[in-house]
Amino acid sequence: MKAIKNNALLTILVLICIAINCYSSNNIRVENGYSTQFYPILSKYFRLLFGWIPFSVGDVIYGFAIFYVAKKIFKLFWVLFKYKKNAFSGMAIRNSIYSFACAICVLYIVFNIFWGINYNRVGIAEQLYLKVEKYSIEDLKNINFLLTEKINNTKQNIINANDTFISSKIMFDDTGKAYEFLSKKYSFIKYNNKSVKSSLWGWAGNYLGFLGYYNPLTAEAQVNTTVPTFTQPFTTCHEVAHQLGYAKEMEANFVGYLAASNSTNLLFKYSVYTEIFTYANRTLYYADSTSAIQYRKLLLPQVIADFKERRKFNESHTSFIEPIISFLYGKFLEQNQQPMGILSYEEVTSFIISFYKKYRYL
């Protein structure tokens, strides 16, 4: 009787997974139904529920989840060590397979209903009527040049104004203001019930290679606030873009660019221009390394010093596990409509070039 119930439950879970997959196969249906109707309401109330709590609830959940999984793995190895040959009876194997299959199905269902279906939406390019096309090397060079000007001008203004580090609270508040201003230009971008918090696991992120992340279970955006400060405003805007349902990394980068570049805070502008330049310059380097290096040499000494600080920070936090995490995350992105994998972040360059061609400004 128990086996029949187990089979019935697993069958139901699999059918729900298939239904989600079928629904997600049509990006127009996802855009008009899930991404602009269901998800905004769901995420808004989750942010209302958890946003007022001063620490990241999602990080606490992650902590318990990691502890639970570690405990299960330890228990498995303990059983193997203690009982050896009798550890894997037929019944034990069947129960393990059943439990694993159910866990995978539940994880898939929860992740997709709470956020993951957004990977299949039409996206920001369609909303802005941008024609994101293949660009030329000359386009790349032009964007690199324009970004060096933006970076240098912004950095000089920061120096002249004697602007310095801002607290995390001010940064999070100013991110909300940036999106509020952006919503006046693009009515489809609305950020209500703000919920951005410093990651409790930032120290680990330095060795695992993450600057921020979005938690679908609580709709919180977490930012690693232990990294060099000039990188943090753009990361915050990027994670808020994920909160708003822009799941693909290049789209979150682009929406983060729109918000940060429209901020009245010079530190936000500097943060986004340096980040976008990094992507655009690296892309140019693959095609024309000499030109890429020449554009880097146009940067102010103070800007170069910031880049050196970031590189030194990263080098001091290298670990053997980061390449593994990067590889696995890249495979995850490939399975979610981003065939470039971890390089999907750099695809924001094509969005920036298309945006500039249409509007003639950055």
Q: What is the pLDDT of residues 119-146, one digit of tens each?
A: 999 999 999 999 888 899 999 999 999 9
- Alpha-carbon distance of 335 to 116, in angstroms, equals 11
Domain boundary among 120, 138, 159: 120
pLDDT at 73 over 80: no
CB 121 within 8 A of CB 34: yes
115 shares a domain with 218: no
DSSP 29: H
The reply to whether 273 and 343 lie within a common domain is yes
Residues 197 and 66 in one domain: no
Same domain, 80 and 193: no
Overall domain count for the chain = 2
pLDDT-derived band of residue 81, with 50, 70 and 90 as boundaries? low
Cβ burial of 189 (10 Å; 0-12, 13-18, 19+) is buried
What pLDDT is stored for residue 79 in this prediction? 62
Place of tokens 């802005």: 128
Which tokens hold the place of 335?
């399975």
Domain end (from 120, 152, 171): 120
The 8-class DSSP code of residue 244 comes to T
257 with 179, same domain: the answer is yes
Residues 179 and 226 in one domain: yes
Mean residue pLDDT across the chain = 91
With CA atoms as reference, report the closest residue to 247 among 159, 97, 116.
Answer: 116
- Of 78, 95, 120, the residue at which a domain comes to its end is 120
Coil, helix or strand for 141?
helix
198 and 218 together in one domain? yes
Distance, in Å, from the CA atom of 238 to the CA atom of 221, rounded to the nearest integer, reads 9
With a cut of 90, say whether residue 88 has pLDDT above it. no
Residue 226 is predicted with a pLDDT of 94
Same domain, 140 and 90: no
- Residue 190: is its pLDDT beyond 60? yes
Would you say residue 72 has pLDDT above 80? no
Percent of the chain surpassing pLDDT 90: 71
- Is the pLDDT assigned to residue 278 strictly greater than 90? yes
Domain that holds residue 169: 126-359
217 & 336 share domain:
yes
pLDDT over threshold 80, residue 76: no
pTM, to two decimals: 0.93
- Per residue, what are the HEC states of 47-98? HHHHCCCCCCHHHHHHHHHHHHHHHHHHHHHHHHHHHHHHHCCHHHHHHHHH
Residues 155 and 261 in one domain: yes
Same domain, 48 and 72: yes
- Residue 87, pLDDT above cutoff 70: no
**Interhelix angle for 232-243 vs 249-261, to 10°?**
120
Instruction: Report the alpha-carbon distance of residue 242 to residue 231 in Å, rounded.
Output: 17
206-219 average pLDDT score: 92
Q: Is 113 in the same domain as 132?
A: no
